[in-house]
Structure 1
Amino acid sequence: MSEIRKHYFLPEYCIIAEGRAKRPSDFAGTAKDSEKNHSESCVFCGGNEEKTPSATAVYKKGEIFADTEEKRIRNWDFRCFPNLYPALSPAPPPPGFHGKGLEAFPGFGFHEVIVESPVHGKKLGDFSDTEISGLMKVYKDRVCHYAARKKVRYVSLFKNSGKAAGASQNHPHSQLLALPVFPQVLERELKAIREEEKCPYCALLEKEKASTRLIHENSKFVAFAPYYSMGPFEVWILPKEHISCLGDFSPELLFPLGEILRAVLRSYEKVLGNLPYNYMFYQLFETPEYHLNLRLLPRISTAAGFELNTGIYINTVSPEKAASYLRGYNNEPAQEEAGKEK
Structure 2
Amino acid sequence: MIPLIRTSWLPEVEKPEESPVMTTSWSPELAKLKKSGNDAFGRDLLGCWRVKKKVSVQRSKDFFPKFQIVSEEFCVRCRSPGMRKDTVTNRWVIFSPARARRPSDFKSKSPANPNPKPSECPFCIGHEHECAPEIFRIPPDPTSDWKIRVIENLYPALSRDHKLLPLLQNPNPNSQDFALTGFGFHDVVIETPLHSVTLSDLSPPEVADVLLAYKERIQQLGRHELIKYVQVFKNHGASAGASMSHSHSQIMALPIVPPTVSARLDSMKEYFDRTGKCSLCEIRSEELLIDESTHFISIVPFAASFPFEIWVIPRDHSSHFHELSNEKAVDLGWLLKLMLLKLSLQLNDPPFNLMIHTSPLQVNASQLSYSHWFLQIVPQLTGVGGFEIGSGCYINPVFPEDAAKVLREVNVPM
Question: Which residue of 2 is the match for residue 336 of structure 1?
Answer: none
Question: Which residue of 1 is the match for residue 373 of structure 2?
Answer: 292
Comparing 77-86 with 279-288, greater Cα deviation is found at 279-288
Question: Which residue of 2 is the match for residue 98 of structure 1?
Answer: 169
| TM-score, L = length of structure 1 | 0.88
Larger Rg: 2
The equivalences for 1:241-320 within 5 A come to 241-284=316-359, 285=361, 287=363, 288-289=368-369, 290-320=371-401
Question: Which residue of 1 is the match for residue 280 of structure 2?
Answer: 201
Following superposition, the deviation at residue 40 of structure 1 comes to 1.9
For the Cα contact (< 8 Å) 1:226–1:234, is it kept in 2? yes
Question: Which residue of 2 is the match for residue 187 of structure 1?
Answer: 262
Distance 2:119 2:105 in 1: 34
Question: Which residue of 2 is the match for residue 173 of structure 1?
Answer: 248
Following superposition, the deviation at residue 291 of structure 1 comes to 0.6
Question: Which residue of 1 is the match for residue 71 of structure 2?
Answer: none
For the Cα contact (< 8 Å) 1:37–1:121, is it kept in 2? no
For the Cα contact (< 8 Å) 1:46–1:74, is it kept in 2? no
Following superposition, the deviation at residue 325 of structure 1 comes to 1.4
Comparing 187-196 with 51-60, greater Cα deviation is found at 187-196
For the Cα contact (< 8 Å) 1:29–1:274, is it kept in 2? no
Distance 1:212 1:309 in 2: 31
Unaligned residue ranges in structure 1 (runs of 5+): 67-72, 334-342
Distance 2:413 2:98 in 1: 30
Following superposition, the deviation at residue 194 of structure 1 comes to 2.6
For the Cα contact (< 8 Å) 1:264–1:330, is it kept in 2? no
For the Cα contact (< 8 Å) 2:204–2:337, is it kept in 1? no
Distance 2:128 2:144 in 1: 8
Q: Note closer, same or farther for the CA distance 1:30–1:185 as it changes in structure 2 (3 Å cut).
A: closer
SS of equivalent residue, structure 1 residue 199? coil
Question: Which residue of 2 is the match for residue 13 of structure 1?
Answer: 92
Distance 1:192 1:8 in 2: 6
SS of equivalent residue, structure 1 residue 125? helix
Following superposition, the deviation at residue 246 of structure 1 comes to 2.1
| TM-score, L = length of structure 2 | 0.73
Correspondence for 2:206 among 108, 131, 135? 131
Matching residue's letter, 1:200: S
Matching residue's letter, 2:401: E
Following superposition, the deviation at residue 275 of structure 1 comes to 1.2
SS of equivalent residue, structure 2 residue 395? strand
Q: Percent of pairs identical after alignment? A: 32
Comparing 87-96 with 10-19, greater Cα deviation is found at 87-96
RMSD over aligned Cα atoms = 2.0
Question: Which residue of 2 is the match for residue 85 of structure 1?
Answer: 155
Unaligned residue ranges in structure 2 (runs of 5+): 1-79
Deviations 1:59-111 (A, max 9, x none): 12xxx257xxxxxx662100011101111111226676521322112111100
SS of equivalent residue, structure 1 residue 274? coil
Question: Which residue of 2 is the match for residue 157 of structure 1?
Answer: 232
For the Cα contact (< 8 Å) 1:266–1:330, is it kept in 2? no
